[in-house]
Amino acid sequence: MADIEVGPGPLSPRDVVAVAREGAAVRLAADALVAIDRARAVVEELAAAPTPAYGISTGFGALATRHIPTEMRAQLQKSLVRSHAAGSGPEVEREVVRGLMLLRLSTLATGHTGVRRQTAQLYADLLTHQITPVVHEYGSLGCSGDLAPLAHCALALMGEGQVRDATGTLRPAAEALAEAGLTPVELEAKEGLALINGTDGMLAMLVLALADLSVLMRTADIAAAMSVEGQLATDRVFAADLQALRPHPGQAASAANLTAILKDSGVVASHRGPDCNRVQDAYSLRCSPQVHGAARDTFDHCALVAGRELASAVDNPVVLFPTDEAEGRVESNGNFHGAPVAYVLDFAAIAAADVASISERRTDRFLDKARNHGLPPFLAGDPGVDSGHMIAQYTQAAIVSELKRLAVPASVDSIPSSAMQEDHVSMGWSAARKLRRSVDGLTRVIAVEVLTGARALDLRRPLEPSPATGAVVDLLRSAGIAGPGPDRHLSPEIEATVDLVRTGAVLDAVQAVIGELR
């Protein structure tokens, strides 16, 4: 895997995924080192000046009025990191920590933070050597940056605290750095503050969630198509000219996917003639493109915000150079406030909950003999003796209910901190944490619909499913998930299908037959 180069320009979402999930190494670009050195010169000049400069020769937050003498400034930076590394609770996932570290490094590489090049380089080295600081669930209010999470990462640069090495073993940071041949940094003026003052954790989780949701939304279209097909519904409502009457791009894409997936379906063809007395299908079938499409458009907006954030340099204070010739200056600002990211994290959780909700409704229709058009109750082998997928739908329903609670916005909350200096906060980190749970829940709900749809399509034989949905049924059967029959332990089959959905295997199976979905 190629190294990811970090320079003054923005990273792509793909870069973030490569480093966070796939373990890609990173390197600082040559122009990043030039920008870092230029900003550092400004900080050192201000550090030597008699006039106090926030974050360089003063305390922080509500303590910013105290001027710190020169001989205590190194201790100031160490104390800042140590005191702010105050997280609590379970460890945050490795991919999140690597993602937030990469994004902090990206801001350092812009040349607006004033760190030294050796500090930025050590950050890159930790990523390359797969040394991951231990970060805890609680500690960020999403304002003044993700302070506690980033402070735990900065602590590792100092050779303090706990880390996970490349094997996942928990070790003291000093020991892991020494084994990798890395030397901890002695933080100097401004550096501690620059390492912790960013919205990198919430942004990393947003980027990772959007990568997952890109796969899930196309898989949701596949699941919906299996339900439309298995429940003898019509595909005519997905026609492009009908969708054009309401020109939302996500709706058009979803409807086009449904049409393509259902093409050449023997099941659909079996009831398309003049004898069909079905006038209108239920909303959960007929309106799938409208709901899936609205979610897609929501996630596109989230991606727009994420792209702007990836192009940002979030720190306070920042080093500015108005023109190439002008002398640099350091200015305080409020760009660390997480509101832009927090809002879309909450927005995404709302859309994820609704996509899960309509998926559960489609699944439920399969199981009700009054609504499933000739299929056995609960798709059971011997109804009464067997329960079929009855409780699989219970599992879906429990998850959907949880997703509705997770859709309650975190960003509308605020709690003051730092003696009322930081009196309005975004709670963006909390919004990001619950979105991760929402994405996991949506994955599981879609998986149950896929599992149930495959069983129903088998029960429709000798009618043949479409080549695309048939490929999904074949995938499940090749993964050891058996077709209809007597009741068996269902949980392993659900988990196996969850893995096939999460990894993109269901999507890949369809795209291998009909080409790339929109």
DSSP string spanning 108-154? HTTT-S---HHHHHHHHHHHHTT-EE--EEE---SSSSSHHHHHHHH
Residues 416/423, Cβ–Cβ less than 8 Å: yes
The C-alpha atoms of residue 502 and residue 507 are separated, in whole angstroms, by 10
Q: Quickly list H helices, 49-93.
A: 73-84
Instruction: Find residue 400's DSSP bridge partners.
Output: none
Pairing of strands 26-28, 4-6: parallel
- Measured CA to CA in angstroms, residue 455 lies from 177, 397, 460 at distances of 52, 19, 9
Closest Cα to residue 469, out of 259, 283, 270?
259
343 is catalytic: no
Rounded distance, CA 177 to CA 165, Å?
9
Catalytic residue among 54, 138, 283, 394: 54
- Among 365, 375, 355, which residue's Cα sits nearest to residue 297? 355
156's enclosing H/E stretch is helix 147-157
Evaluate whether 464 touches 270 at the Cβ level (below 8 Å). Answer: no
* Spatial separation of the C-alpha atoms in residues 300 and 509, rounded to whole Å: 25
User: Using an 8 Å Cβ cutoff, are 389 and 366 in contact?
Assistant: yes
What are the residue numbers of the active site?
54
